[in-house]
């Protein structure tokens, strides 16, 4: 009966004046990883926004980010919830080579860095306290540095987990460590471990496996999206030390990725998908997050994230729990539409490329023009604005909610919004790299186990 109703709804939508164009493809399969920031896909499905556009969509959870990317490249998936670094890395040929584009940015913020209880106890004496005795936030990795030095003195490696080599989590964890004076290690064409010269050894762990890997003692901490930081608190096995909102206020997170070939062959379908996703993002943020409890219920279902309602609600409804009972208001921990979150800014793409260069994934120096060129080949605000215009014309969105006149670059992120006090301007990537104390800059390259140049 449910499928029959869905089919009737789609038939009605197709006959309405809102769908003047013909869809090149109306049966689509999208992939996702079990994280709360896949929410726009789940909401677009559950609220009927895909059906409103005449799209019959199947959502399929994927085992890991590599399987997901391979599925999109191979055509088993028509598109997917992706790490922002994945379309960029694939397009420049780092790892798998394929031209992936993104016409839609899925969210801002949403990640955290968690350490085991044992490491937290060793960090705590190095963290200032507030008047009520709770730790003062944000917490710098400078508090972790003496702990890592103790490990080094004993000849023990200090291991931390992140979800994928080109993930935001890898770059955020590296950013936090470097801002606290710790070397997170480098990549080279011959050594893709990312552990050359490292004080802290980072390795890949799929998001849902993070808490169990921490509990087993294989890693001492990790950077991951929700609900897997809050899960550590609920299980009593770890303490989140910082959220990425505290690390870099309103930083870009996931994107929706499709192949350039798919977009070129299916322009009307692509536009329809983006329309549905924009509506889902609006629903998630409207009326001061009034719909978030319903979104949490959707995400808690086993076919989506499959974590307990209370665990997902901790971050999705405007606060974050660092230790049992230490809940702090972070209303923007998950942002899906505010602050032009869904617009695919070139400056966001450039930041990811600078981090790839900073840690050696981009082995050779590149001129500023190269960063701009790659950003524009992957991020597609023209497709986004075309979909937004259609929604405004249909009375489903407000004209004022979209950056119609943007050149694709945000204003520079001010120093006070970033943990190390170093501003970021996407228009000047090489000057930005020069401003970072730790990391490759200028003509530097990694040769063997050392930096040259």
- The alpha-helical segments, DSSP class H, found in 154-192 are 168-179
Please identify, in words, the CATH class of the domain defined by 111-251. Answer: alpha beta
Return the bridge partners of 149, or none: none
Q: Residues 376-409: pLDDT tens digits?
A: 999 999 999 999 999 999 999 999 999 999 999 9
Q: Residues 27-84: pLDDT tens digits?
A: 999 999 999 999 999 999 999 999 999 999 999 999 999 999 999 999 999 999 999 9
Q: Residues 13-31: pLDDT tens digits?
A: 443 434 545 999 999 999 9
Return the bridge partners of 31, or none: 60, 80
Q: Where does CATH 3.40.190.10 sit in the chain?
A: 2-109+253-401, 111-251
Q: What phi and psi values does residue 314 have, to the nearest 5 degrees?
A: -55, -40
Helix (H, G, I), strand (E, B) or coil at 193: coil
Confidence at residue 192, expressed as pLDDT on a 0 to 100 scale: 96
User: Of all helices (H) and strands (E), which one includes residue 38?
Assistant: none
Measured between alpha carbons, how far apart are the two ends of the chain, in Å? 67
Q: Which residue has the tokens 């029959």?
A: 4
Chain-centroid distance, C-alpha 78: 20
Q: What phi and psi values does residue 255 have, to the nearest 5 degrees?
A: -135, 165
Helix (H, G, I), strand (E, B) or coil at 31: strand
Helix (H, G, I), strand (E, B) or coil at 4: helix
Q: How far apart are CA 437 and CA 186, in angstroms?
A: 14
pLDDT category at 318 given cuts 50, 70, 90 is confident
Q: Which residue has the tokens 């200090």?
A: 158
pTM for this structure? 0.94
Q: Could you tell me the fold of the domain covering 2-109+253-401?
A: D-Maltodextrin-Binding Protein; domain 2 (3.40.190)
């Amino acid at each position: 009966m449910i499928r029959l109703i869905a089919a009737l709804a789609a038939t009605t939508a197709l006959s309405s004046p809102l769908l003047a164009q013909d869809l090149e493809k109306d049966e689509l399969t999208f992939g996702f990883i079990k994280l709360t920031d896949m929410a726009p896909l789940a909401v677009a499905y559950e609220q009927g926004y895909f059906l409103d556009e005449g799209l019959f969509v199947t959502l399929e959870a994927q085992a890991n980010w590599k399987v997901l990317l391979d599925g999109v490249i191979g055509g088993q998936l028509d598109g997917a919830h992706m790490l922002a670094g994945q379309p960029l890395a694939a397009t420049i040929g780092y790892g798998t080579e394929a031209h992936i584009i993104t016409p839609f940015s899925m969210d801002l913020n949403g990640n955290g860095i968690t350490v085991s209880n044992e490491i937290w106890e060793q960090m705590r004496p190095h963290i200032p306290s507030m008047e009520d005795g709770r730790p003062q936030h944000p917490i710098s990795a400078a508090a972790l540095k003496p702990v890592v030095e103790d490990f080094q003195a004993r000849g023990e490696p200090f291991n931390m987990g992140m979800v994928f080599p080109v993930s935001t989590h890898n770059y955020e964890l590296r950013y936090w460590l470097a801002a606290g004076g710790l070397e997170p290690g480098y990549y080279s064409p011959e050594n893709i471990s990312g552990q050359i010269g490292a004080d802290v050894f980072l390795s890949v762990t799929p998001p849902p496996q993070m808490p169990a890997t921490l509990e087993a003692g294989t890693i001492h901490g990790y950077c991951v999206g929700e609900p897997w930081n809050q899960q550590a608190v609920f299980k009593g096995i770890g303490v989140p030390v910082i959220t990425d909102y505290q690390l870099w206020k309103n930083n870009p997170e996931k994107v929706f990725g499709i192949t350039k070939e798919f977009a070129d062959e299916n322009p009307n379908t692509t536009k329809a998908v983006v329309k549905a996703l924009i509506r889902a993002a609006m629903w998630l943020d409207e009326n001061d997050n009034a719909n978030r409890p319903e979104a949490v219920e959707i995400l808690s279902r086993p076919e989506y994230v499959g974590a307990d309602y209370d665990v997902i609600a901790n971050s999705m409804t405007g606060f974050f729990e660092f230790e049992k009972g230490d809940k702090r208001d972070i209303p923007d921990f998950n942002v899906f539409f505010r602050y032009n979150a869904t617009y695919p800014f070139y400056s966001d793409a450039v930041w990811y490329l600078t981090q790839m260069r900073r840690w050696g994934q981009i082995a050779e120096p590149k001129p500023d023009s190269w960063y701009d060129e790659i950003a524009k080949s992957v991020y597609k605000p023209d497709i986004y604005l075309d979909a937004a215009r259609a929604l405004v014309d249909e009375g489903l969105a407000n004209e004022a909610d979209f950056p119609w006149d943007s050149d694709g670059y945000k204003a520079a992120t001010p120093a006070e919004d970033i943990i190390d006090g170093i501003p970021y301007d996407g228009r000047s990537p090489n000057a930005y790299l020069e401003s970072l104390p730790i990391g490759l800059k200028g003509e530097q390259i990694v040769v063997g186990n050392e930096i040259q140049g």
